[in-house]
Chain A
């Protein structure tokens, strides 16, 4: 199910474990940013770039999670297996392909923005499929990210909440440090729009 075209870059050879001296190093070596095309997520990426610059980060990961067939089918009110319509199935396949290419384009744009900021670090793309929260948690655990950066809203459909449902369950479950980017005063029109257009059929 999970297709991950994570970067083919080789792990840094001299990866030094946390210094054993008393105390710790105040830095984040690996930062992961969740992107979904919303204005909030782009702002989160901007902040992540700023932190990466400030902290001497080695790897900046970009993750996008697209809905799986099951999620898509549920959002149409059908269950995937029981659909009697051949046309429906075809439509699903077409949409899945569309989503995949959109995901790729999004990650590409995100990587471009990082490059434009002039950072010398590894950029790794994670194109995942399935449950947003679960896939992100898995990427963090698998790749050992030390900081996760995300917008307060925008991912998922809870644009009206102070803290979106995705952000909320991530904060509660992440094994690493978390930065939730919130911009006061600016209401997230763009984020709401993105969520709305996704729901329309």
Chain B
């Protein structure tokens, strides 16, 4: 039924909540594989976020900074996935394997790619938090994933504690 479960994380409290639900589901349903995916921004996305296009970047002194950020992004991604794997281990997954997917690029496209490529039956993600649309009832990532519906999708609602935590973090980050 739900042999292969994939959960998308981004480090937000909401995504950890979704993650915990995915672990509980994998455990309870006797899933074979629990996949964890994190998608980090690519050079393209990063440079757009800074308001520069790539071509102009090399004339300014941004090249090195971008490079550094990319490397940091990669390390963060690795750390996050490691944390997820540890957390799943601690919860005790029974027979399920944990597989991590560190991807780079467009969040939605990469998630859909991995679901299709690896044949996941169920995708779990937080209703918000992946991406920055914190004010919406349903985040943009969740919305596009649901619209594309590559497999069964569980959108875990970010209510109460998780939401407050994310809001506080966003505020702290400016």
Q: Does B66 contact A (CB under 8 A)?
A: no
Query: Which chain A residues in 165-191 approach chain B with CB under 8 Å?
Result: 168, 171-184
> A23 to B16, alpha carbons, bound, how many Å?
9
Closest chain B residue, CB of each to CB of A167: B146
Contact status A18-B29, CB under 8 Å: no
Residues of A contacting B153 in the complex (Cβ-Cβ under 8 angstroms): 179-180, 182
> A175 to B161, alpha carbons, bound, how many Å?
15
Q: Contact check: which of A26, A54, A177, A184 meets B151 at CB < 8 Å? A: A184
Q: Does A58 contact B (CB under 8 A)?
A: no
Contact status B146-A171, CB under 8 Å: yes
Q: Does B27 contact A (CB under 8 A)?
A: yes
Interface size on A, residues (CB 8 A): 33
Listed in ascending order, the chain B residues whose CB lies under 8 Å from chain A are: 1-2, 17, 20-21, 23-25, 27-29, 127, 137-138, 143, 146-157, 159-162
Q: Does A100 contact B (CB under 8 A)?
A: no
Q: Does A113 contact B (CB under 8 A)?
A: no
Contact status A182-B151, CB under 8 Å: yes
Contact status A172-B2, CB under 8 Å: no
Contact status A179-B138, CB under 8 Å: no
Closest chain A residue, CB of each to CB of B127: A177
Q: Contact check: which of A53, A172, A177, A184 meets B156 at CB < 8 Å? A: A177
Q: Does A162 contact B (CB under 8 A)?
A: yes
Contact status B24-A27, CB under 8 Å: yes
Contact status B28-A152, CB under 8 Å: no
Contact status A173-B2, CB under 8 Å: no
Residues of B contacting A53 in the complex (Cβ-Cβ under 8 angstroms): 28-29
Residues of A contacting B28 in the complex (Cβ-Cβ under 8 angstroms): 51, 53-56
Q: Does A47 contact B (CB under 8 A)?
A: yes
Contact status B25-A182, CB under 8 Å: no
Contact status A46-B148, CB under 8 Å: no
Contact status B17-A47, CB under 8 Å: no
Contact status A178-B154, CB under 8 Å: yes
Q: Contact check: which of B25, B137, B148, B151 meets A172 at CB < 8 Å? A: B137
Listed in ascending order, the chain A residues whose CB lies under 8 Å from chain B are: 18, 22-24, 26-27, 46-47, 50-51, 53-56, 146, 152, 162-163, 168, 171-184
Contact status B161-A24, CB under 8 Å: yes
Q: Closest Cβ of chain B: how far from A152's Cβ, in Å? A: 6
Contact status B157-A176, CB under 8 Å: yes
Residues of A contacting B162 in the complex (Cβ-Cβ under 8 angstroms): 24
Q: Closest Cβ of chain A: how far from B73's Cβ, in Å? A: 26
Residues of B contacting A47 in the complex (Cβ-Cβ under 8 angstroms): 1-2, 152
Q: Closest Cβ of chain A: how far from B124's Cβ, in Å? A: 9
> A55 to B152, alpha carbons, bound, how many Å?
18
Residues of A contacting B20 in the complex (Cβ-Cβ under 8 angstroms): 23-24, 26
Contact status A175-B157, CB under 8 Å: yes
Q: Closest Cβ of chain A: how far from B21's Cβ, in Å? A: 5
Q: Contact check: which of A24, A162, A182 meets B17 at CB < 8 Å? A: A24
Closest chain B residue, CB of each to CB of A153: B149
Contact status B29-A180, CB under 8 Å: no
Known: A22-B161, A47-B152, A163-B149. 16 other contacts (CB 8 A): A24-B160, A24-B161, A27-B21, A46-B1, A50-B1, A51-B28, A54-B28, A55-B28, A162-B148, A163-B147, A171-B146, A175-B157, A177-B156, A178-B157, A182-B149, A184-B151
> A162 to B148, alpha carbons, bound, how many Å?
7
- When A177-B154, A181-B152 are in contact, do A54 and B23 touch as well, CB less than 8 Å? no
Residues of B contacting A163 in the complex (Cβ-Cβ under 8 angstroms): 146-147, 149
Q: Closest Cβ of chain A: how far from B12's Cβ, in Å? A: 14
